[in-house]
Chain A
Amino acid sequence: MVHILKNLKKGIINENPVFILLLGLCPTLAVSTSIDNAFGMTAAVMFVLISANIIVSLIRGVTPDRVRIPVFIVIIAALVTIVDLTMKAFIPELSKSLGIFIPLIVVNCIILGRAEAFASKNTLADSVADAIGMGIGFGVAITVISFFRQLLGTGEITIFGTPVFSAPGLFDNPMSIFILPMGAFLVLGCLLATLRYMGVIKSG
């Protein structure tokens, strides 16, 4: 039990995939333009991560070592395609705004990384805990980045299309640079620097 809690917690804080391991930066930087996108991306990544970890952990005893990477990739690609098709069928709006980044989850290092480094060597329960922890860690990171980018770049925060907060001065004169790709790097850089300053990231 202690094990499971530890595995769950490490993905959120000590080994946060985005802030500490700096994995999966491509979708993190690209789709973090609004909180809605962040939620959609998190849901997709979470589903693929948990399912991939479950399957990889279940077949870890029988997977021949020489073909393990192709096997993982096939499993992940199939899961991602399932997510992509389901999203297109039931929430076309979200699927449109996430665009190419859903298919690109196939090559997201967080998922292959967890399958290879964790799920292929650990029990089912531990792997699920690891996936949930990593998924939440990714979700927290991308949501925080999206929050700053949307707030500074458009002047208002919308959740599921409904505006919940609008900054008076910013709304009329938003700093559009934060919505542009460059803004993603600025926000991520500042967040990493802050986390390091606060001692969450240990140097060296």
Chain B
Amino acid sequence: MSKTNFRADIVPILFLTVVVCVSVIALAYVDSITYEKIETAKLEAFKEKLSVHFSDMTDFTSNDANDCYVVFTDNNTIGYAVKAVGSGYGGTIEMLVALEPTNLSSTDDLILRGLSVISHSETPGLGDKITQSFFLDQFQEVLFSGIELSKTGGDIDAISGATISSKAVINGIVSSIEDRFDSLVELVSSVEVS
């Protein structure tokens, strides 16, 4: 049994503790001055993405899960949006599906107003064409039931050389809207009540 040596055993522990404490204080300070800016930057970036589809929007509201949105112009509802997620060739594709303000009795009545890609990691030059307008424009004013590749009877032409990415976009839209339809209905009714 060796005796505890203060200099060799305790000092390193105390020193590391002090370094960690000082770092934490510094980080807390930086966080306190950047937190609000980061949140506004995120909100602004998202607002810009929504306004691509709703050019006259003035405000929007979202549900707690932050995947369904109702878009307003001066307190009038002008449309809905749903965040959609598909699994592509290179990873997750995150999309924003803009919807016309139709009657929300079932998913069959939904009409897409447009589509934009929020983030993706598809192959540059092939799969990343899902972000180009020739592909995305196909999703304007389309019935939800028409969201299917044209070779299986739908309204959407796949990108040649990027079938997996094209399918991922379509599957992502369909499954996400089906999953989130109830939350959208809930959000819309809560907005109408208030």
Contacts and interface: CB of A to CB of B under 8 A. Distances in A.
Contacts of A71: 15-16, 19
Contacts of B12: 64, 66-67
B38 interface: yes
Interface string A66-91: 11001100110110011001101110
Contacts of B27: 78, 81-82
A4 interface: no
Contacts of A85: 30-31, 34, 38
B37 interface: yes
B52 interface: no
A85 B28 CA distance: 11
Most buried by B among A63, A64, A74: A64
B123 interface: yes
Interface string A45-74: 000000000000000001110110011001
A68 to B, nearest CB: 9
B20 interface: yes
A122 B38 CA distance: 38
The DSSP consensus for interface residues of chain B is helix
B23 interface: yes
B19 A92 contact: no
Nearest to A70: B16
A63 B34 contact: no
Given A67-B16, A71-B15, A90-B37, A179 B23 contact: no
Contacts of B13: 67
Nearest to A67: B12
B104 interface: no
B1 interface: no
A63 B15 contact: yes
Contacts of B45: 92
A139 B12 CA distance: 36
A176 B162 CA distance: 15
A180 B34 contact: no
A88 B34 CA distance: 8
Contacts of B30: 81-82, 85-86
A41 to B, nearest CB: 19
Interface of B: 8, 11-13, 15-16, 19-20, 23-24, 26-27, 30-31, 34, 37-38, 41-42, 45, 123-125
19 contacts: A62-B15, A64-B12, A66-B8, A67-B12, A70-B16, A71-B15, A71-B16, A71-B19, A74-B19, A74-B23, A81-B27, A88-B38, A89-B37, A89-B38, A92-B38, A92-B45, A176-B125, A179-B124, A180-B124
Given A62-B15, A67-B12, A89-B41, 16 more contacts: A63-B15, A64-B15, A66-B8, A74-B19, A74-B20, A74-B23, A75-B23, A78-B27, A81-B27, A82-B26, A82-B30, A85-B38, A86-B30, A88-B38, A92-B38, A92-B41
